[in-house]
A and B are shown apart, each in its own frame.
Chain A
């Protein structure tokens, strides 16, 4: 019997991003398509967040392991680059989870990063909600984050930058 896509989605919701373990691969928006494959298998299109994101191979491995454990076989993963991933694909649910985890979610539309200079965005501090925040470095603990500090409560935090 061919697999049910909704069932696969249910399993994928259990596969977390290894570097931000509160987000599932669905929340991240890196799963671009799910198709039945052969008799009882599934084919999944994945897109990397950043070209060099070291989590991608772990994510592919975790997806295959999770689905095979659920009896879905074979699992074929295609890496697709186009269209390029954007933070606009992070789900609303994902943004809430990020904030609760202490990471400020991306603000605004990804198109704004075209400007060479200009003020860095001032995301709300995930701890005290203050907008009085300051960018320390546009490169943070992973490629997808920038380093910030709240000027009020002094909490240093990661901002998931618009991309």
Chain B
């Protein structure tokens, strides 16, 4: 893979990750357990969407040929999306929503912390903006993780079920692929191998406080970053892209 193709793939991965998780959280609008949570989840969604726009704008410039941020978000197919599988997992219930967010936020904070030092000036700039927002997300999801895990018998049981299901999808977050390898020596990409130990340490620290038991298997699900997704992503994109697919070129 050449450097330019790898950079585009990398920026799209980051943009897709935010767009897909932002869309998932937006689905909670009007459905969260209480008003404050509704506002919180959609606020986080808004941050992710804003960051996604900065990234898609950059990707569109890299791609050239008159490509726009909207083309990239609305007109790519499922197999072209590069987000890790975790973020496309459905909301299910509030336990799943919070745990998915928590497992992602811990990674996301470590990742963007490191991305601030990227040799790619544009990525570093986006990272310095995003990291301030991500800290709030992590505080929110970690607090709720503890509150529900160390809560009632029912809330704990629901959190444990969600954790057992979602655990598999943590494997991919800190595992580099060919794109990462290509961009590593020039200092553009974050060294994901370096994040692995702190990631699982921080996750375990909060899970312990939440009295949740870490599943006793090695997480293994992979493929999202190469475009092999779960069945859930197609449904998500159908809703996200329906307007542009039905009325190509529609504008506000």
If A139-B140, A143-B47 touch, does A50 touch B133 (CB 8 Å cutoff)?
yes
**Can you name the residue of chain B whose Cβ is closest to the Cβ of A52?**
B50
Q: Which residues of B contact A81 (CB under 8 A)?
A: 54, 125-126, 128-129
Q: Which residues of B contact A53 (CB under 8 A)?
A: 50
Interface bits A77-91 vs B (CB < 8 Å: 1, else 0) = 000011110100000
A116 on interface, CB distance cutoff 8 Å = yes
Determine whether the beta carbon of A113 is less than 8 Å from that of B138.
no
Once the chains are docked, how many angstroms separate the CA of A40 from the CA of B158? 64
Once the chains are docked, how many angstroms separate the CA of A75 from the CA of B185? 42
Q: Which residues of B contact A136 (CB under 8 A)?
A: 36
Quote the shortest CB–CB distance from A31 to chain B (angstroms). 17
Once the chains are docked, how many angstroms separate the CA of A84 from the CA of B48? 16
Q: Which one of B38-46, B160-168, B224-232 is at the interface?
A: B38-46
DSSP class of A's interface residues: helix, strand, loop or mixed? loop
Determine whether the beta carbon of B128 is less than 8 Å from that of A84.
yes
Number of A-B contacts (CB under 8 A): 74
Determine whether the beta carbon of A117 is less than 8 Å from that of B39.
no
Q: Which residues of B contact A51 (CB under 8 A)?
A: 47, 50-51, 53-54, 129-130, 133
B132 on interface, CB distance cutoff 8 Å = yes
Interface size range on A against B: 20 to 34
Interface bits B175-187 vs A (CB < 8 Å: 1, else 0) = 0000000000000
Once the chains are docked, how many angstroms separate the CA of A163 from the CA of B36? 20
Determine whether the beta carbon of A139 is less than 8 Å from that of B40.
yes
Determine whether the beta carbon of A113 is less than 8 Å from that of B36.
no
DSSP class of B's interface residues: helix, strand, loop or mixed? helix
B139 on interface, CB distance cutoff 8 Å = yes
Interface size range on B against A: 20 to 34
A109 on interface, CB distance cutoff 8 Å = no
Q: Which residues of B contact A141 (CB under 8 A)?
A: 39
B49 on interface, CB distance cutoff 8 Å = yes
Chain B 42-85 residues near chain A, CB threshold 8 A: 43-44, 46-51, 53-54
B136 on interface, CB distance cutoff 8 Å = yes
Chain B 89-147 residues near chain A, CB threshold 8 A: 124-126, 128-130, 132-133, 135-136, 138-140, 142-143
If A51-B50, A140-B39 touch, does A84 touch B132 (CB 8 Å cutoff)?
yes
Q: Which residues of A contact B46 (CB under 8 A)?
A: 50, 52, 54, 143
Quote the shortest CB–CB distance from B120 to chain A (angstroms). 13
Quote the shortest CB–CB distance from B119 to chain A (angstroms). 15
Once the chains are docked, how many angstroms separate the CA of A58 from the CA of B30? 26
Q: Which residues of B contact A137 (CB under 8 A)?
A: 36-37, 39-40
Q: Which residues of A contact B43 (CB under 8 A)?
A: 139, 143
A-B pairs with beta carbons under 8 Å apart, 7 shown = A50-B47, A51-B54, A51-B130, A117-B142, A117-B143, A139-B39, A139-B136
Question: Could you tell me which B residues sit within 8 Å of A by CB distance?
Answer: 36-37, 39-40, 43-44, 46-51, 53-54, 124-126, 128-130, 132-133, 135-136, 138-140, 142-143
Q: A52-B53, A110-B132, A137-B39 are in contact. List 12 more A-B contacts (CB 8 A).
A: A50-B47, A51-B53, A51-B129, A84-B129, A113-B132, A116-B135, A116-B142, A117-B142, A138-B40, A138-B140, A139-B36, A139-B140
Closest 10 CB pairs of A and B: A52-B50, A51-B50, A137-B36, A139-B40, A52-B46, A139-B43, A82-B125, A84-B129, A51-B51, A81-B129
